[in-house]
Amino acid sequence: MAMINNGLSGLLAAQTALNTMSQNVANVNVPGYSRQEVQLSARQTGFGVMGGSGVQVTGLRRVADDFLTGQLWRAESDAGRHGQVSDYLGQLETLLGSKDSSLLPGLNQFFAALHSAAETPQSIAPRQQIIAASEALAQRFNHLGNQIDAQERRVLDQLDASNSQANSLLSQVATLNDKIKAIGAQGGSVGILEDKRDETVRQLSQLVEVRSTRQQDGTLNVTLPQGQPLVLGNQAATINRDDTELSVQFGTQSFSLDGEIGGSLGGLLLHREQQLLPARAELNAIAEQLAEKVNTQLGAGFDLNNAAGKPLFSFTPGDAAGSLRVSADFTAEDLALSGQIDAPGNNDNLQALLGLEDDSYEAFRGLVGKLAISSAQWQADAGASSNIRIQAQARRDGVSGVNLDEEAMNMMNYVQNYQANAKVIGTADQLFSTLLNMI
């Protein structure tokens, strides 16, 4: 009977191992799945030559490395942050630098019209061309201002969508913590639930950078890098946006967030605060300075009616780019191109206007240049972060992922083990039958 019991325990152990192997193979393409291994131990219940009672399955081991998993989460966060900033910054660079929307063609047209009027400043036709070029330049400022405003709205909309996704993931982690704690306390297997939790945290790490601490009861506490709690046991925080401010709410506590939280959420905040808003402020400054310099210079000259020059441009302070206009009822005769009264053919003031040309180009080119340098750096960082994330995923999968070749070898081994134990049982049956026949 001992041989039969030993063989039977071996059959059951081999069957469990084959079931585990089939589970691994079935989940080879499931994101975040960690392969499982059967843990076996010899059963010892007797002494002497009859000692031993076969083999027993003591548990299933989830093959996972918390250090490698944490590295993957941080790599996901870096890739999400750099990729988010790189995408939006590239759009902003294209907007300001493309031929269709750049200020340069408008500045070219405006100063070219001034040059054309230099020989006959008293003529109406070149003056009308200056008015038309001024309107075209103002429209280019308006277009850029409106497009920057539109990008800010897209950033805020994406913040809301990412907030909703993050809050859903935080709730899922808290729920999984609760299930893992309950099942683990009863001695059940929680490997699949832990895989789901790790995959959920990985998705969360794409949105914000996280830190985790495993507790003795199997739960996972998740915080931001600065220590703000996101998940403690089965309690989850919520991330909220109030106008342009982002905060995390945990119970009665509220913590402000900024672009240093990492992930795509951090990237969105960083882009808005450190790139988009400064670019808009600088564009407004360029529009305001150009308008004020032109208006001031025109005010120093005389129009065709010998009156002091009127302001060519009008704008709303704080939104000069979006509101820049040619002043209402401004006509070609109102252009004060002469530097002397009763001298409509004089172009001294027009020459002074042309002296503003270099500074106007330099200011805008400086803005575009800074954006181009920053965009190139962020694109390089995004590429590097993506490669690091791929490497981190490969290292994690190298330990926890399912290797089909390895599983095929295990299957052959388990099948042979199963067949050998079946042979043991068959042999024992023959011996027992022979013994019975002898009696």
191-207 vs 66-97: helix axis angle to the nearest 10?
30
Q: Is the pLDDT of residue 43 over 70?
A: yes
Radius of gyration of the chain (CA): 37
Closest CA to 312 of 333, 340, 285, 284: 333
Q: Is the pLDDT of residue 118 over 60?
A: yes
State the Cα–Cα distance between residues 170 and 56, nearest whole angstrom: 39
**What is the mean predicted confidence (pLDDT) over 162-169?**
94
Q: How confident is the model at residue 47 (pLDDT cuts 50, 70, 90)?
A: low
pLDDT at 411 (0 to 100): 87
Q: Is the pLDDT of residue 68 over 90?
A: yes
Helix (H) or strand (E) holding 211: strand 211-214
State the Cα–Cα distance between residues 358 and 167, nearest whole angstrom: 52
Q: Is the pLDDT of residue 98 over 70?
A: yes
Closest CA to 197 of 218, 226, 228, 225: 218
pLDDT at 428 (0 to 100): 75
Q: What is the DSSP string of 254-297?
A: EEEE-GGG-HHHHHHHHHIIIIIHHHHHHHHHHHHHHHHHHHHH
The backbone torsions φ and ψ at residue 315, rounded to the nearest 5 degrees and listed phi first, read -160, 165
**Share above pLDDT 70 across residues of the chain, in percent, rounded to a whole number:** 97
The backbone torsions φ and ψ at residue 341, rounded to the nearest 5 degrees and listed phi first, read -75, 145
pLDDT at 46 (0 to 100): 59
Closest CA to 336 of 292, 313, 305, 315: 305
Residue with tokens 């960690």, as numbered in its chain: 34
Q: Is the pLDDT of residue 344 over 90?
A: no
**What is the mean predicted confidence (pLDDT) over 54-76?**
90
Residues 176-186 have pLDDT tens digits of 999 999 998 99
Burial (Cβ within 10 Å: 0-12, 13-18, ≥19) of residue 295: middle
Residue with tokens 């191109």, as numbered in its chain: 337
Q: Is the pLDDT of residue 323 over 80?
A: yes
Q: Is the pLDDT of residue 51 over 70?
A: no
State the Cα–Cα distance between residues 85 and 268, nearest whole angstrom: 7
Tokens of 144: 């850029």
**Which residue intervals of 44-186 are DSSP H helices?**
66-97, 104-116, 124-185
Between 360 and 259, the more confident residue is 360
Q: Is the pLDDT of residue 75 over 90?
A: yes
Closest CA to 231 of 271, 273, 171: 171
Q: How confident is the model at residue 1 (pLDDT cuts 50, 70, 90)?
A: low
Average pLDDT, the chain: 90
The backbone torsions φ and ψ at residue 152, rounded to the nearest 5 degrees and listed phi first, read -65, -40
Closest CA to 321 of 155, 137, 156, 92: 137
**Share above pLDDT 90 across residues of the chain, in percent, rounded to a whole number:** 63
The backbone torsions φ and ψ at residue 61, rounded to the nearest 5 degrees and listed phi first, read -105, 125
Q: Is the pLDDT of residue 305 over 70?
A: yes
Tokens of 349: 């003031």
Residue with tokens 């959420």, as numbered in its chain: 265
Residues 192-208 have pLDDT tens digits of 999 999 999 999 999 99
State the Cα–Cα distance between residues 178 and 426, nearest whole angstrom: 48
Cα–Cα–Cα angle for 9, 10, 15, nearest 5°? Answer: 100
The model's pTM:
0.86
